[in-house]
Amino acid sequence: MVRKPGRMYRNLAKKAYTRREYMGGVPGSRLVQFDMGNLTEDFPLEVTLVVEEGCQIRHTALEAARIVINRRLQDLGRANFRLKIRVYPHHILRENKQATGAGADRVSEGMRLSFGKPVGSAARVYPGQKVISIYTLLPNLEKVKDALRHGAHKLPSPTHLEIATHKVSGIRATHVKIAEEKVVAAPVAAAAEAEAAPGAEKEAEKGAEKGAEKGAGKPGEKGAEKAPEKGAGKPGEKAAEKGAEKGGKGEKHGEKHGEKSR
């Protein structure tokens, strides 16, 4: 069946209808991703899309705006921005579907103030409410404003932009380099390694000096001292002494033998 005009669901005419447990077969929301980009860093610039009139924004309109904005922010690099959708389509839209075409003249008018069946969901917003926010670096302001203007064309309310700056502390806010119209920030891990490198080099130098002092002359001296002590003259002297002793014993034995023969 053909989708009804947007004016049928735009105005805040009735109470919010959000109790999904009392209805069955609610179509799923097209909007499933609310945070994109770099979700771990703090950025100093915030640009927000604000609606000027109260209305209901269908989930399909929010998804269309998200796709357009995210596609235009890819030039900045995924690590240099954060996109956040700040509303959720809680309100369930109902429709009394009617037969159309030839031969349906008797049922085309339908029942007045009929309840209807769920056909989708929408976010209920009020004047001055923030819908979409982008957090990024200061040099990216113009590109972010252009992306939000294109996304605003998908919404059923006139909008305007609000720009705010935040004081952030950390490596990312201070180590920023601009090259070829793209903002390239030094990675946190690389910066931490660069800061820790001088200390590691000093410790390595100290360890090398200590090793050189320990292994310079002491091991060789000890080996040289032990070698002469063990093998210089003691083994030979002992052998000579043993030989002399044996020779002396032989002389004594000969003398005794000679005395007996006499």
Residues 6+ apart with CB under 8 A from 170: 41, 42
Q: What is the CATH number of domain 7-18+27-98+113-185?
A: 3.90.1170.10
Strand ranges inside the chain, DSSP E: 35-37, 45-51, 55-58, 81-85, 91-95, 117-125, 130-136, 159-165, 176-179, 182-185
Q: For residues 85 and 34, is the Cβ–Cβ distance under 8 A?
A: yes
Q: For residues 149 and 72, is the Cβ–Cβ distance under 8 A?
A: no
Residue whose structure tokens are 């919010």: 16
Beta strands at 55-58 and 117-125: parallel, antiparallel or unpaired: antiparallel
Calpha distance 179→58 (Å, rounded): 40
Residue type at 85? Answer: I
How deeply is 79 buried, as exposed, middle or buried, from its count of CB atoms within 10 A (0-12, 13-18, 19+)? Answer: middle
**Sequence spans of domains, the chain:** 7-18+27-98+113-185, 187-226
Calpha distance 30→55 (Å, rounded): 19
Q: For residues 91 and 123, is the Cβ–Cβ distance under 8 A?
A: yes
The SS3 of residue 161 is: strand
Cα–Cα–Cα angle for 170, 70, 163, nearest 5°? 55
- What is the pLDDT at residue 22? 82
Residue type at 145? Answer: K
How deeply is 127 buried, as exposed, middle or buried, from its count of CB atoms within 10 A (0-12, 13-18, 19+)? Answer: exposed
Calpha distance 200→193 (Å, rounded): 10
pLDDT per position in the chain (262 positions), as tens? 457 787 888 888 888 888 888 888 888 889 999 999 989 888 999 999 999 999 999 999 999 999 999 999 998 888 899 999 999 999 999 888 776 666 655 556 677 778 888 988 999 999 999 999 999 999 999 999 999 999 999 999 999 999 999 888 765 544 444 334 444 444 545 555 666 566 666 666 666 676 666 555 544 444 444 444 444 445 555 554 555 555 554 444 545 444 444 4
Question: pTM of the predicted model, to two decimals?
Answer: 0.59
Calpha distance 56→93 (Å, rounded): 10
